[in-house]
């Protein structure tokens, strides 16, 4: 990662205020424009109530069309809005397509905000006119990129963006990524959205497979309150503007490693910026008899309100962790289970370690970041989740959100 | 239910302070003594780390022995204490058995409190001497019963007890019940404990089957934060002291209905007294394609931190409920789903009902108790859970519990 943020070739950005957020200076509409048709890959929420833009986006990706533009609004999720919501997505895509002189099918749409309210289409269409005027004026790409990143924020406390340049066998390529919140962190705002852009050229199926692998080990490895949104979307665009067509195993590995590092960095930022969060905690389960067993236990611990409240209270209350391990629905041998807080052995063989003293655990839990490792000693499989604590501010933010 | 609390024949009670709780006047050790061997039935936690008294109690019930005495301590769960914990249970049972001149195998033990700390056996043995002296002195049964109920409380704000008298074909029988907390409400205190006593005589297998059915529709229908304790126990004793041996279908149905009503009342009290709770909410799923589907959705909604925080904020945020329905892992048709808050139709066919206005939902959520009904319109099965809201006080109680 370089200090100065490098922006991909052949992409333009804009971020404006169109009136979806109440504050007058709050950016709420973002545009990504690719000068050339970009190869697209995406992953979406598995929620059974997918939002209208998710339904539309899935169809688009299935049709295999290249993309030219991405329009993202914050302030309204366009979820649970029925057939009207789907009509609204189409209207917006057609309007933007006409304004940019591209096909509506080349326009990808994302929304984030309150569920169940009709999309304020008129405000968005007026915003699109401003956006399109905006991208015609040459601007500092770093500044316009940052404005787009800020326009997709909801309760996020800071913008989340990453950049990377790779020297491949085909020349230098640049990758940008940005994201907001997480379905499980900002779920009423209803969305974890992430966009990955590169000026490399990549074959479509390779791109999708690579994205799916990377998402599985980054965004799918974070959890805050276990609530999954109706709008989660990760979109990856490769527009080839650098002229570098990545096809060799070595180049693709370079790309995948860079994307993995970048998405893990964005995922980490989401947890760090979790609503009300004061801690980032890495929960690791090792020695599990199967990947499923490892994941079940990891999720039970990382999602337990009691465990997360103990983290907030800086209380090394390992009994709550043990209780969550025990109700995860996995057949295990309690007498083999070890638990470490960072380097401190807390539980050995299912009971408190004989050398453990309360102050040793408390010292770890006072840190802003630490790990909890649960070793089942019953196999070779493991799972890892980043999670945050459950705090008074989480309650305040979510109890008072719409009032 | 009668106004004056009637106490079963042939049971004696005591509650004392033995030093497990810090406050000098806090009762922390309870004794139930049956003058005759009582037929016992029980249900226990399914946590994979069962506490030592649960392991011991399971063996006792499996052996089929009648019970004479129940000793319950608060302040220490004797969970995750390994073989020493099991030795401690045996020591306590043997000591109490000797003091009462009964077999150790006739003594049932329950514990509730912090996980992982060794049981302070010396304090308990000294307490047993006091208890046994106490039950020799004739006392007001109502007062001694209430002292026993108070001695098992942990973070409970009020004691939880019920009484009932039935006129059966065999004469009058009395039933008493009392309980503390809930595994999902007071999970660090680590226990939902409930005791059901009757002076009727009932055949052992009938008694266990009846208890299991009743628990399934009372204690297993409440949920606060989804955390399941290592110590949960429901014990039912029938000592026959009334001389009424219940064998006919009519008498058994009378008994089962009474027990169901009493356990539902105790379960309701647990939710009402949930840590920090300000609301009692009945979540109902109807029209489900299978009982499992109904239960999954019901639990997803009732355990969602976001839904429960919205209840606390009195925010009729139905989008969070829809999101939880959608991630419950059930295949459903979003366009058929209806949601009502009490009598107010909020969602029709997966979108906001056309006649619904925000203030209609807000008026319901300001009530201290209300129901949320989710109708999938896809079958005949249903499920119901009582739950509470997630509040600042919950965070305070559980972040600062041990400090």
The CA distance from A303 to A306, in Å, is 9
Q: Helices in B281-354 by DSSP H: which ranges?
A: 291-303, 305-312, 318-326
pLDDT tens figures, B274-285: 888 899 999 999
- For chain A, give the mean pLDDT: 90
pLDDT at B234: 86
Please check whether residue A322 touches B, CB under 8 A.
Answer: yes
Contact A57, A45 (CB under 8 A): no
Instruction: Extract the tokens encoding B65.
Output: 């022995």
The CA distance from B131 to B115, in Å, is 25
Domain with CATH 3.10.20.340 in chain A: 280-399
pLDDT at B122: 97
State yes or no: pLDDT of A105 exceeds 90. yes
The CA distance from A359 to A365, in Å, is 10
- Beta bridge pairs of residue B234: B43, B194
**Burial class of residue B220 (count of CB atoms within 10 Å of its CB; 0-12, 13-18, 19+):** middle
> Which residues numbered 70-109 in A keep a CB inside 8 Å of some CB on B?
77, 79-82, 84
Class of domain A11-272: alpha beta
Contact B88, B126 (CB under 8 A): no
Say if the Cβ atoms of A317 and B401 lie within 8 Å.
yes
Contact B359, B314 (CB under 8 A): no
State yes or no: pLDDT of B337 exceeds 80. yes
CA angle in degrees (0–180, nearest 5) for A176-A177-A182? 175
Mean pLDDT of A132-136: 87
- The CA-atom distances, in angstroms, between B246 and each of A333, B36, B73, B255 are 42, 17, 32, 9
pLDDT at A3: 56
pLDDT at B13: 95
Contact A349, B83 (CB under 8 A): no
What is the distance in angstroms between the Cα of A83 and the nearest Cα belonging to chain B? 9
End-to-end CA distance of chain B: 41
What is the distance in angstroms between the Cα of B136 and the nearest Cα belonging to chain A? 38
> Which residues numbered 239-278 in B keep a CB inside 8 Å of some CB on A?
none
What is the distance in angstroms between the Cα of B44 and the nearest Cα belonging to chain A? 13
CB atoms within 10 A of CB B164: 21
DSSP per-residue codes, B165-222:
EEEETTEEEEEEEEEE--TTTSTTTT--EEEEEESSB--HHHHHHHHHHHHHTTGGGE
Q: What is the ipTM of this complex?
A: 0.79
Question: What percentage of chain B reaches a pLDDT higher than 90?
Answer: 67
Q: Does domain B280-399 have CATH number 3.10.20.340?
A: yes
State yes or no: pLDDT of B2 exceeds 50. no
The CA distance from B375 to B383, in Å, is 11
pLDDT at B184: 46
pLDDT at A402: 58
Secondary structure of residue B98 in the 3-state scheme = helix
Say if the Cβ atoms of B312 and A395 lie within 8 Å.
yes
Instruction: Extract the tokens encoding B33.
Output: 């003594």
pLDDT at B191: 60
pLDDT at A355: 96
User: B82: which residues sit within 8 A by CB, 6+ positions away?
Assistant: A335, A349, A350, A351
Q: Which of B179, B258, B191, B239 is nearest to B41 (CA)?
A: B239
Say if the Cβ atoms of A306 and B398 lie within 8 Å.
yes
Q: How many residues does chain B have?
A: 403
Q: Which of B82, B323, B398 comes nearest A115 by C-beta? A: B323
pLDDT at A29: 97
CA angle in degrees (0–180, nearest 5) for A33-A37-A38? 80
pLDDT at A280: 93
pLDDT at A186: 36
B334: DSSP letter: G
pLDDT at A118: 93
Q: Which of B115, B306, B392 comes nearest A225 by C-beta? A: B306
Catalytic, B191? Answer: yes
Question: What percentage of chain A reaches a pLDDT higher than 90?
Answer: 68
Half-sphere exposure of B197 (CA within 13 A, CB side): 33
pLDDT at B272: 87
Q: Which of B227, B324, B349 comes nearest A306 by C-beta? A: B227
Domain with CATH 3.60.70.12 in chain B: 11-272
pLDDT tens figures, B160-199: 999 999 999 999 999 999 988 754 443 344 467 889 999 9
Say if the Cβ atoms of A79 and B319 lie within 8 Å.
yes
**Residue numbers in B near A226 (CB within 8 A):** 304-305
Q: Closest residue of B to A362, CA-based? A: B403
Half-sphere exposure of B47 (CA within 13 A, CB side): 32
pLDDT at A234: 86
Annotated catalytic residue, options B43, B112, B155, B191: B191
Question: What percentage of chain A reaches a pLDDT higher than 70?
Answer: 95
pLDDT tens figures, B87-145: 999 999 999 999 999 999 999 999 998 888 899 999 999 999 999 988 888 789 999 99
Interface test with B, best of A119, A309, A388 (most B CBs within 10 A): A309
Instruction: Extract the tokens encoding B274.
Output: 């949930």
Q: Which of A251, A255, A214 is nearest to A234 (CA)?
A: A214
Interface test with A, best of B48, B230, B346, B388 (most A CBs within 10 A): B48
Q: Closest residue of B to A350, CA-based? A: B80
DSSP per-residue codes, A303-329:
H-HHHHHHHHTT---HHHHHHHHHTSS
Q: Which of A73, A72, A57 is nearest to A105 (CA)?
A: A57
State yes or no: pLDDT of B268 exceeds 60. yes
State yes or no: pLDDT of A224 exceeds 80. no
Q: Which of A84, A70, A155, A151 is nearest to A116 (CA)?
A: A84
pLDDT tens figures, B371-381: 999 999 999 99
pLDDT at B139: 83
Q: Which of B115, B324, B332 comes nearest A227 by C-beta? A: B324
- The CA-atom distances, in angstroms, between A223 and each of A152, A192, A270, A295, A324 are 20, 11, 10, 12, 15
Say if the Cβ atoms of B227 and A82 lie within 8 Å.
no
Q: Which of B47, B79, B315 comes nearest A401 by C-beta? A: B315
User: B342: which residues sit within 8 A by CB, 6+ positions away?
Assistant: B364, B367, B370, B371
B60: DSSP letter: H
Residue carrying the six token digits 């006392």: B139
Contact A305, B227 (CB under 8 A): yes
At A71, which helix (H) or strand (E)? Answer: strand A67-76
pLDDT tens figures, A28-59: 999 999 999 999 999 888 888 889 999 999 99
Mean pLDDT of A363-387: 95
């Amino acid at each position: 990662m370089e200090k100065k943020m490098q922006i991909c070739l052949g992409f333009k950005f804009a971020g404006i205020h169109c009136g979806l957020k109440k504050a007058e200076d709050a950016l709420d509409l973002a545009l990504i424009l690719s000068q050339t048709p970009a190869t697209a890959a995406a992953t979406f929420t598995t929620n059974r109530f997918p939002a209208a833009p998710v339904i539309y986006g899935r169809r688009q990706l299935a049709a295999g069309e290249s993309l030219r533009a991405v329009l993202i609004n914050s302030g309204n999720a366009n979820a649970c809005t029925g057939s009207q919501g789907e009509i609204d997505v189409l209207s917006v895509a057609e309007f933007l397509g006409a304004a940019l002189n591209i096909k509506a099918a080349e326009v990808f749409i994302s929304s984030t905000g309150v569920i169940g309210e009709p999309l304020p289409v008129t405000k968005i269409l007026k915003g699109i006119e401003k956006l399109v005027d905006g991208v015609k004026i040459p601007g500092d790409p770093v500044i316009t990129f940052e404005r787009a990143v800020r326009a997709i924020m909801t309760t996020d406390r800071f913008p989340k963006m990453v950049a990377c340049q790779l020297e491949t066998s085909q020349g230098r390529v640049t990758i940008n990524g940005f994201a907001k919140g997480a379905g499980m962190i900002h779920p009423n705002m209803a969305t974890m959205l992430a966009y990955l852009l590169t000026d490399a050229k990549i074959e479509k199926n390779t791109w999708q497979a690579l994205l799916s692998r990377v998402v599985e080990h980054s965004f799918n490895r974070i959890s805050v309150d276990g609530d999954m949104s109706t709008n989660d979307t990760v979109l990856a665009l490769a527009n080839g503007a650098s002229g570098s067509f990545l096809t060799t195993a070595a180049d693709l590995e370079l790309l995948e490693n860079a994307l993995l590092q970048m998405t893990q960095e964005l995922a980490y930022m989401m947890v760090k910026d979790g609503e009300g969060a004061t801690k980032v905690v890495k929960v690791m389960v090792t020695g599990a008899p199967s990947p499923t067993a490892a994941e079940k236990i990891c999720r039970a611990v990382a999602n337990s309100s009691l465990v997360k409240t103990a983290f907030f209270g800086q209380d090394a209350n390992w009994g709550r962790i043990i209780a969550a391990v025990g109700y995860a629905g996995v057949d295990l041998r309690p007498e083999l289970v070890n638990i470490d807080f960072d380097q401190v052995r807390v539980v050995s063989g299912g009971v408190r370690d004989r050398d453990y003293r309360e102050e040793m655990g408390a010292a770890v839990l006072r840190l802003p970041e630490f790990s909890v490792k649960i070793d089942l000693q019953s196999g070779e499989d493991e799972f890892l989740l980043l999670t945050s604590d459950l705090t008074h501010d989480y309650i305040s933010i979510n109890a008072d959100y719409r009032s």
